[in-house]
Amino acid sequence: MSKADEVIDTIDDGDFSKVDSLIQSSLREDDDQTKFSLAETLMSRGLSVQAKTIYEHLLDNYPSEGQILSRLAEIAVSDGNSDQALDYISQITPDSPAYAENLLVSADIYQSQGLYEVSEQKLLTGIREYPDEEVFKFALAEVYFDENKFSKALTYYDMLLDMGIKNYSGISIVLRKASSLAGDGQYEEAISVYEDLNAIELNEDAQFQLGFLYNQVKNYNKSIAILEKLLETNRDYPTAYPILAEDYLNIKKNDDAFKYAQLGLNLNELDDRLYQIAFDAGTAENTSEAIKIIEKGIQTVDNPLPLVIKLSDYYITKGQFKSNLDLLEGREISNNPKLIWNLAKSEFETDDVNQAQEDILQVLDDFKDNLDYLSDLIEILRSSGNNDVLKAAIQLYLKQDPDNEDMQNLLDQI
């Protein structure tokens, strides 16, 4: 029995205390082919540290052997040492039997470093040099997929499917194609692929994607049916709730929209979209509860600005100008023109005309093409008596709406 066999038997017995010493014995006593086979077995079992010891020993004897260099590069990648991995890879020449492996490992390294173009070139070289090796087509499709270049990814996923390959390395090529179609905006085509999946392939994530796609094409009833079926089997699927709540909101079933938004918030209280949907759905039936929810959201989410804008717009629409002033008091809004406009309108409506004029003029450049803004500006300027600026504001208004008789008469009066 070789020392390599003793190493494996010891591992099989669960006794790791002697493994390192037996490996050293193997390095002294076994032939090089036996040592290499031992290293390969250790690698396949995930014992890369022990395998590395043997590969490094063999590299001293065979410094240009591509297979050894390739294995050491793989181990360096798994250890997070990309520079060392590239050093090993660079020593493998195109005439080496390990050159194909070299291309794959180097492509993986460059992809991990975000150097997608270099990774792409390595894989394209592999496709040219080894046209019958599907691994290069799969790897290139994955690079494009990770880079959100979905139309390019589709080209190679379709190649694999045309070769009869539906799964590769534990990844469903069919699902990748469906996701790529969706990412490329081909929603109807993606739906068709998802609909052709069998019950096993249509897992929870695929069900969610299908429900999301039906939402995107405004087939809200189908989206509801799929997502509710998903939640029947897994109530803790958080991303389904905002889509489902939005579906119900779009078909005017506010009670159901409000319910699913609240259920979703029980799972993820940081989802600002759920707060917005709950507010939109709840204001028609239970305004006070809806306001409590969005106020909680403002206090909870990482970026409350969209919620603040929504509540501020609501107060303006309902003429609750004092509530809007309370909402914005002490809040940093200098970089948000919409909230400054809302603030100015509320100040004007609560008789703080001078401050309203100062604030609304701050955002003139942002809204000079907005007739609603110009109407508010003109109303404030008329109250403040600032006729020079008022005249310019009316002229801006008439440039967009030249047939407005009321504005023309006002300009004539000035």
Q: Which of 38-47, 128-137, 231-240, 346-355 has the lowest mean pLDDT?
A: 38-47
Q: CATH code at 394? A: 1.25.40.10
365-406 tens-digit pLDDT: 999 999 999 999 999 988 887 788 888 888 888 898 888 888
Measuring CA to CA, which residue among 99, 100, 40 is closest to residue 75? 40
For 59, 76, 273, the CA distances from 72, given in Å and listed in that order, are 9, 6, 48
Asked whether 73 and 88 are in contact (CB, 8 A), the reply is yes
172-223 tens-digit pLDDT: 999 999 999 999 999 999 999 999 887 777 889 999 999 999 999 999 999 9
Write down the residue that tokens 């390095």 correspond to: 27
In a domain, 133, yes or no: no
From 271, 303, 335, the end of a domain falls on 303
By CB neighbour count within 10 A (0-12 exposed, 13-18 middle, 19+ buried), where does 38 fall? buried
Q: Give the best-scoring range by mean pLDDT among 73-82, 117-126, 330-339.
A: 330-339
In a domain, 143, yes or no: no
Asked whether 68 and 33 are in contact (CB, 8 A), the reply is no
From 303, 338, 353, the end of a domain falls on 303
- Measure the CA–CA gap between 162 and 191, rounded to whole angstroms: 20
96, pLDDT greater than 90? no
Parent domain of 393: 323-414
- Measure the CA–CA gap between 268 and 259, rounded to whole angstroms: 14
1, pLDDT greater than 70? no
**Type of residue found at 168:** Y
Instruction: Kindly state whether residues 294 and 344 are assigned to the same domain.
Output: no
The DSSP element (H or E) to which 168 belongs, if any, is strand 167-168
- Measure the CA–CA gap between 200 and 193, rounded to whole angstroms: 14
Count of structural domains, the chain: 2
